[in-house]
Structure 1
Amino acid sequence: MAETPGFELPLLLFAGFRALIDQLHAELAERGHPDVRPAHGFAMQAIGVRGATASEIGRRLGVSKQAAGKTVGRLAELGYVERVDDPLDARRKLIRLTPHGIDSLTTSAAIFDRLRQRWSETLGADRLEQLESSLRTVVPDAGFPVDVPGWFG
């Protein structure tokens, strides 16, 4: 049996990621979130439940404050975030998720659970658990990064 070329591994991992994200966004569109794009999901994760400043969002995403501000502006137009005075420092604006933004993240989590279940049915539960366990072994234990927009940029 011929050895698989090394370049296929990152492409297969990316194709799997892409397949999940594409399926997620198709279902999100059906469930009331047709304008959410992958970059928006990463931005909402960077904002988090406590909110964040544009500078913090930019750092977390690995992009400039201006790029983060542009994404935040689009999310505000769509009703996913709002800008409010920071209760700890009135000179700063805090970006917070709106109920619509929280719903999109909650809905995304439920969809990801269903997508994982589909993979489990296709691969078998044992193979999927082995795949996840293997990835945990080789992936640095630094949490789940949301800096994909900056990393790809």
Structure 2
Amino acid sequence: MLARNPDLGILAARLLFGLQGEVFGRLADRGHGDVRPRHGAVLGFLDARGVRATELARLSGRHKQIIGRLVDELEELGYVKRRPDPADRRAKLVVPTERGLDEQRQADEIIAEIERRHAATLGEAGYAQLRSALMIITDAAALVDASPASSE
């Protein structure tokens, strides 16, 4: 039985797990059944020019070691490759392959469809308010996570 008045954590988890379930289920139907929700920490933040692993860690909120393992997995699956950073030859960029770019395009399409469905349910103004409220809450949470007291 679902809680009648779930707290914010439960609501956020339901939203996340529901979104992940639908996105990754539909990606599997489109030929990307080997990617998992954990891979979103890399694939969700890549661009075609490439991104350093340290930046992926910062953007995703994951430790650099975890990002390194995810990049290893995605490289083995053919979604990304590492190449020297032209700005600093000692550093490496994580760059999506054609397979990775296809996965990103497919995921973007699926998420856009889900967002349109939610906008139809809530109305455009209601959905815009929901997104705005979520941005405010997540931005505030990021500030708390970055505060000196939270790192002790």
Q: CA deviation at 1:88?
A: 2.5
- Kindly indicate whether residue 66 of structure 2 is the aligned counterpart of residue 67 of structure 1: yes
Equivalent AA in structure 2 for residue 88 of structure 1? A
Partner of 2:48: 49
Larger CA deviation: 51-60 vs 64-73: 51-60
| TM-score w.r.t. length of structure 2 | 0.74
Partner of 2:84: 85
Partner of 2:105: 106
Equivalent AA in structure 2 for residue 33 of structure 1? H
Unaligned stretches of 5+ in structure 1? 144-153
The verdict on how the C-alpha distance between 1:89 and 1:30 changes in structure 2, with shifts beyond 3 A counting, is: same
The verdict on how the C-alpha distance between 1:139 and 1:82 changes in structure 2, with shifts beyond 3 A counting, is: closer
User: Do 1:41 and 1:105's aligned partners in 2 also have CA atoms closer than 8 Å?
Assistant: no
What do the CA deviations read for 1:38-78 (whole angstroms, capped 9, x no partner)?
22122123333331233333333333332221110000011
User: Do 2:41 and 2:67's aligned partners in 1 also have CA atoms closer than 8 Å?
Assistant: no
RCO higher in 1 or 2 (8 Å CA, sep ≥ 6)?
A: 1
Unaligned stretches of 5+ in structure 2? 143-152
Partner of 1:13: 12
Identity %: 36
Larger CA deviation: 131-140 vs 95-104: 131-140
Measure, in 1, the Cα distance between the counterparts of 2:109 and 2:67. 26
Measure, in 1, the Cα distance between the counterparts of 2:68 and 2:136. 36
| TM-score w.r.t. length of structure 1 | 0.74
- Kindly indicate whether residue 93 of structure 2 is the aligned counterpart of residue 97 of structure 1: no
SS in 2 for 1:90: strand
User: Do 2:74 and 2:80's aligned partners in 1 also have CA atoms closer than 8 Å?
Assistant: yes
Alignment coverage as a number of residue pairs? 140
Partner of 1:23: 22
SS in 1 for 2:103: helix
SS in 2 for 1:33: coil
Measure, in 1, the Cα distance between the counterparts of 2:58 and 2:35. 21
The verdict on how the C-alpha distance between 1:63 and 1:134 changes in structure 2, with shifts beyond 3 A counting, is: closer
